[in-house]
Homo-oligomer: A and B are copies of this chain.
Amino acid sequence: MREPIVRRQVFRLSRERRVSDIMEAATQVFREKGYDDALISDIAERASVVEGSIYRYFDNKRDLFIKVIENWYHGMLSDYDRQLTGISGTRNRLRFMIWRHLATVHEDPALCRQMFQIVRSGSEYTDTAVFELNRQYTRRTLDIVHEGIVTGELRAGLSLRLVRDMIYGCVEHRTWAYLRGEGDFDPDHVADQIVDLVLGGLQTPGDSPALGAQAAMLQRLESAVERLERKAP
Protein backbone atom coordinates (compact mmCIF):
# COMPACT_ATOMS: atom_id res chain seq x y z
CA MET A 1 0.00 0.00 0.00
CA ARG A 2 1.34 3.39 -0.83
CA GLU A 3 2.29 5.51 2.06
CA PRO A 4 1.13 9.08 2.07
CA ILE A 5 4.03 11.48 1.87
CA VAL A 6 4.47 15.14 2.55
CA ARG A 7 3.50 17.01 -0.56
CA ARG A 8 4.72 20.12 -2.14
CA GLN A 9 2.42 23.08 -2.30
CA VAL A 10 -0.53 22.06 -4.41
CA PHE A 11 -1.94 24.54 -6.88
CA ARG A 12 -5.24 23.54 -8.32
CA LEU A 13 -5.98 24.70 -11.80
CA SER A 14 -8.83 23.95 -14.13
CA ARG A 15 -8.43 21.03 -16.42
CA GLU A 16 -8.24 23.33 -19.41
CA ARG A 17 -5.56 25.46 -17.92
CA ARG A 18 -3.45 22.52 -16.86
CA VAL A 19 -3.78 20.87 -20.24
CA SER A 20 -2.73 23.99 -22.05
CA ASP A 21 0.19 24.50 -19.67
CA ILE A 22 1.39 21.00 -20.34
CA MET A 23 0.88 21.33 -24.08
CA GLU A 24 2.84 24.51 -24.14
CA ALA A 25 5.70 23.04 -22.16
CA ALA A 26 5.63 19.93 -24.34
CA THR A 27 5.69 22.00 -27.51
CA GLN A 28 8.81 23.73 -26.35
CA VAL A 29 10.60 20.60 -25.29
CA PHE A 30 9.70 18.63 -28.38
CA ARG A 31 10.76 21.53 -30.50
CA GLU A 32 14.11 21.76 -28.80
CA LYS A 33 14.92 18.11 -28.31
CA GLY A 34 12.93 16.15 -30.79
CA TYR A 35 10.64 13.32 -29.79
CA ASP A 36 13.13 10.79 -28.52
CA ASP A 37 15.30 13.13 -26.53
CA ALA A 38 12.40 14.95 -24.99
CA LEU A 39 11.90 13.83 -21.42
CA ILE A 40 8.59 13.66 -19.69
CA SER A 41 10.32 14.83 -16.55
CA ASP A 42 11.54 17.87 -18.42
CA ILE A 43 8.11 18.69 -19.73
CA ALA A 44 6.63 18.20 -16.29
CA GLU A 45 9.09 20.55 -14.73
CA ARG A 46 8.44 23.29 -17.25
CA ALA A 47 4.73 22.90 -16.80
CA SER A 48 5.17 23.00 -13.03
CA VAL A 49 3.54 19.66 -12.43
CA VAL A 50 4.86 16.28 -11.45
CA GLU A 51 5.25 13.66 -14.13
CA GLY A 52 2.26 11.71 -12.98
CA SER A 53 0.00 14.64 -13.65
CA ILE A 54 0.81 14.54 -17.31
CA TYR A 55 -0.55 11.04 -17.43
CA ARG A 56 -3.84 12.23 -16.06
CA TYR A 57 -4.41 14.15 -19.26
CA PHE A 58 -2.44 12.23 -21.84
CA ASP A 59 -2.21 8.51 -22.36
CA ASN A 60 1.50 8.48 -22.97
CA LYS A 61 4.36 10.41 -24.41
CA ARG A 62 3.37 9.66 -27.99
CA ASP A 63 -0.17 10.78 -27.37
CA LEU A 64 1.10 14.04 -25.98
CA PHE A 65 3.30 14.56 -28.99
CA ILE A 66 0.50 13.88 -31.41
CA LYS A 67 -1.67 16.35 -29.56
CA VAL A 68 1.01 18.98 -29.81
CA ILE A 69 1.33 18.48 -33.53
CA GLU A 70 -2.43 18.47 -34.04
CA ASN A 71 -2.79 21.64 -32.11
CA TRP A 72 -0.18 23.30 -34.24
CA TYR A 73 -1.83 22.13 -37.45
CA HIS A 74 -5.18 23.45 -36.40
CA GLY A 75 -3.67 26.88 -35.92
CA MET A 76 -2.22 26.81 -39.39
CA LEU A 77 -5.31 25.51 -41.10
CA SER A 78 -7.60 28.16 -39.73
CA ASP A 79 -5.09 30.80 -40.75
CA TYR A 80 -5.03 29.47 -44.29
CA ASP A 81 -8.71 29.62 -44.86
CA ARG A 82 -8.98 33.09 -43.43
CA GLN A 83 -6.29 34.53 -45.64
CA LEU A 84 -6.97 32.60 -48.80
CA THR A 85 -10.40 34.09 -49.24
CA GLY A 86 -8.84 37.48 -49.92
CA ILE A 87 -6.72 36.29 -52.79
CA SER A 88 -7.78 35.75 -56.35
CA GLY A 89 -6.13 34.41 -59.44
CA THR A 90 -4.56 31.01 -59.75
CA ARG A 91 -1.02 32.29 -59.68
CA ASN A 92 -1.62 34.49 -56.68
CA ARG A 93 -3.43 31.83 -54.76
CA LEU A 94 -0.79 29.24 -55.52
CA ARG A 95 1.92 31.63 -54.54
CA PHE A 96 0.17 32.31 -51.29
CA MET A 97 0.01 28.61 -50.45
CA ILE A 98 3.68 28.18 -51.18
CA TRP A 99 4.63 31.34 -49.40
CA ARG A 100 2.57 30.40 -46.37
CA HIS A 101 4.19 27.02 -46.19
CA LEU A 102 7.63 28.55 -46.50
CA ALA A 103 6.77 31.15 -43.90
CA THR A 104 5.59 28.44 -41.50
CA VAL A 105 8.85 26.63 -41.89
CA HIS A 106 10.65 29.87 -41.43
CA GLU A 107 8.81 30.72 -38.26
CA ASP A 108 9.16 27.42 -36.47
CA PRO A 109 11.75 25.30 -38.19
CA ALA A 110 12.42 23.05 -35.23
CA LEU A 111 8.83 21.96 -34.85
CA CYS A 112 8.38 21.59 -38.59
CA ARG A 113 11.31 19.30 -38.68
CA GLN A 114 9.93 17.04 -35.98
CA MET A 115 6.70 16.99 -37.86
CA PHE A 116 8.20 15.96 -41.16
CA GLN A 117 10.08 13.18 -39.41
CA ILE A 118 6.97 11.88 -37.74
CA VAL A 119 4.62 12.13 -40.66
CA ARG A 120 7.21 10.30 -42.72
CA SER A 121 7.82 7.60 -40.15
CA GLY A 122 4.28 6.53 -40.68
CA SER A 123 3.71 4.51 -37.54
CA GLU A 124 0.10 3.41 -37.54
CA TYR A 125 -0.85 5.80 -34.80
CA THR A 126 0.27 8.75 -36.80
CA ASP A 127 -1.63 7.66 -39.82
CA THR A 128 -5.01 8.38 -38.44
CA ALA A 129 -4.66 11.70 -36.71
CA VAL A 130 -1.81 13.71 -38.14
CA PHE A 131 -2.13 12.22 -41.54
CA GLU A 132 -5.62 13.43 -42.01
CA LEU A 133 -4.59 16.92 -40.98
CA ASN A 134 -1.75 16.85 -43.44
CA ARG A 135 -4.17 15.86 -46.13
CA GLN A 136 -6.43 18.74 -45.27
CA TYR A 137 -3.44 21.00 -45.25
CA THR A 138 -2.41 20.13 -48.79
CA ARG A 139 -5.91 19.76 -50.15
CA ARG A 140 -6.21 23.49 -50.62
CA THR A 141 -3.33 23.40 -53.03
CA LEU A 142 -4.91 20.63 -55.01
CA ASP A 143 -8.10 22.64 -55.21
CA ILE A 144 -6.33 25.68 -56.56
CA VAL A 145 -4.61 23.67 -59.24
CA HIS A 146 -7.86 22.03 -60.15
CA GLU A 147 -9.60 25.37 -60.50
CA GLY A 148 -6.72 26.63 -62.61
CA ILE A 149 -7.24 23.77 -65.01
CA VAL A 150 -10.95 24.41 -65.17
CA THR A 151 -10.43 28.07 -65.97
CA GLY A 152 -7.85 27.16 -68.59
CA GLU A 153 -5.04 28.95 -66.85
CA LEU A 154 -3.29 25.67 -66.24
CA ARG A 155 -2.91 22.96 -68.78
CA ALA A 156 -4.93 19.82 -68.53
CA GLY A 157 -3.70 16.29 -68.36
CA LEU A 158 -1.71 16.85 -65.20
CA SER A 159 -1.68 14.55 -62.24
CA LEU A 160 -2.87 16.75 -59.42
CA ARG A 161 -1.16 14.56 -56.85
CA LEU A 162 2.10 14.95 -58.67
CA VAL A 163 1.79 18.69 -58.75
CA ARG A 164 1.19 18.71 -55.04
CA ASP A 165 4.15 16.41 -54.44
CA MET A 166 6.31 18.64 -56.54
CA ILE A 167 5.38 21.77 -54.68
CA TYR A 168 5.68 20.40 -51.16
CA GLY A 169 8.67 18.27 -52.00
CA CYS A 170 10.40 21.27 -53.47
CA VAL A 171 9.71 23.40 -50.42
CA GLU A 172 10.86 20.67 -48.09
CA HIS A 173 14.10 20.07 -49.89
CA ARG A 174 14.75 23.74 -50.42
CA THR A 175 14.42 24.37 -46.70
CA TRP A 176 16.31 21.38 -45.29
CA ALA A 177 19.44 23.34 -44.67
CA TYR A 178 17.46 25.90 -42.75
CA LEU A 179 15.57 23.20 -40.90
CA ARG A 180 18.87 21.79 -39.85
CA GLY A 181 19.86 25.16 -38.54
CA GLU A 182 22.15 26.14 -41.35
CA GLY A 183 21.73 29.31 -43.30
CA ASP A 184 18.56 31.22 -43.92
CA PHE A 185 16.14 31.87 -46.72
CA ASP A 186 13.68 34.49 -47.71
CA PRO A 187 10.16 33.06 -48.01
CA ASP A 188 9.12 35.80 -50.40
CA HIS A 189 11.96 35.26 -52.75
CA VAL A 190 11.81 31.48 -52.70
CA ALA A 191 8.06 31.56 -53.17
CA ASP A 192 8.52 33.63 -56.30
CA GLN A 193 11.12 31.25 -57.61
CA ILE A 194 9.04 28.18 -56.98
CA VAL A 195 5.91 29.62 -58.51
CA ASP A 196 7.87 30.67 -61.53
CA LEU A 197 9.46 27.30 -61.94
CA VAL A 198 6.42 25.22 -61.29
CA LEU A 199 4.23 27.30 -63.58
CA GLY A 200 6.70 27.99 -66.34
CA GLY A 201 8.72 24.81 -66.29
CA LEU A 202 12.33 24.45 -67.17
CA GLN A 203 11.98 24.62 -70.88
CA THR A 204 12.71 27.64 -72.94
CA PRO A 205 9.41 29.39 -73.13
CA GLY A 206 7.52 30.51 -76.08
CA ASP A 207 6.47 27.58 -77.99
CA SER A 208 8.78 24.77 -78.19
CA PRO A 209 12.37 23.86 -78.36
CA ALA A 210 14.17 26.01 -80.86
CA LEU A 211 13.78 24.83 -84.41
CA GLY A 212 17.47 24.09 -84.56
CA ALA A 213 17.15 21.84 -81.60
CA GLN A 214 14.21 20.11 -83.25
CA ALA A 215 16.28 19.41 -86.32
CA ALA A 216 19.08 17.93 -84.24
CA MET A 217 16.57 15.81 -82.45
CA LEU A 218 15.15 14.52 -85.74
CA GLN A 219 18.59 13.51 -86.90
CA ARG A 220 19.26 11.65 -83.72
CA LEU A 221 15.95 9.90 -84.04
CA GLU A 222 16.67 8.84 -87.57
CA SER A 223 20.00 7.24 -86.72
CA ALA A 224 18.56 5.61 -83.63
CA VAL A 225 15.79 4.01 -85.63
CA GLU A 226 18.37 2.72 -88.07
CA ARG A 227 20.28 1.14 -85.22
CA LEU A 228 17.14 -0.44 -83.85
CA GLU A 229 16.27 -1.89 -87.24
CA ARG A 230 19.65 -3.50 -87.49
CA LYS A 231 19.23 -5.02 -84.03
CA ALA A 232 15.69 -6.21 -84.60
CA PRO A 233 15.37 -9.95 -85.32
A232 partner residues in chain B, CB cutoff 8 A: 228, 231-232
By secondary structure, the A interface counts as helix
A113 CB, nearest partner CB in chain B, Å: 8
A120 CB, nearest partner CB in chain B, Å: 7
Q: Which residues 184-219 in A have Cβ within 8 Å of B in the complex?
A: 188, 190, 192-195, 197-219
A135 CB, nearest partner CB in chain B, Å: 12
User: A169 touches which one: B168, B216, B220 (CB < 8 A)?
Assistant: B168
A213 partner residues in chain B, CB cutoff 8 A: 151-153, 204, 208, 215
**A169-B171, A206-B206 known, 15 other contacts, Cβ within 8 Å:** A2-B58, A36-B36, A122-B180, A166-B173, A200-B216, A205-B208, A208-B208, A209-B215, A209-B218, A209-B219, A214-B215, A224-B225, A224-B226, A228-B232, A231-B233
